[in-house]
Amino acid sequence: MDTEGEYAPATAAAARERYEALGPTAQVVVTQVAKAMEMDADEYDERVTGEVVETAREALFASLLSVRVGTREEYEAWLADNPDYEVQEVGSDHVDNVAWHAAPATGTVVAATFQDERRAAVGTLRRQAFGRVYRDLVADGD
């Protein structure tokens, strides 16, 4: 078992703080991408909306989430050691590997099973974790 990423907020306040802190970074990323796409000022004003920047912030937040990756047996052992977590799992029970994110802020673990495509599973898991755990959590602070 190994871990990718760096962040599993311990509290709702910590999640909101990190999410808020990513706002300026998301704006810079979107602006630089628009420049690379050679958007002029009018096109930028028309296409780069608050929703676009918010989507970038969500993607940045999700990309930082800590994800454990291991065999089904390692995942089940982790669950046995952490029985207080509510489990949300996507995928098949009939594959060998699992990627999971434990969200201490909500007592939830979100997992995605996979056979061979680790990178795709980790990406899917991060999107699932943001949508299922963090989107409402960070919105509560707005």
Residues 83-94: tens digit of each pLDDT: 999 999 998 989
Give the C-alpha separation, 35 to 74, whole Å. Answer: 45
Residues 3-31: tens digit of each pLDDT: 999 999 999 999 999 999 999 999 999 99
Q: Which of 6, 25, 142 has its CA nearest to residue 67? A: 6
| Span 49-62, average pLDDT | 95
Q: Which of 51, 47, 48, 58 has its CA nearest to residue 22? A: 58
Q: How confident is the model at residue 140 (pLDDT cuts 50, 70, 90)?
A: low
Residues 109-120: tens digit of each pLDDT: 999 999 999 999
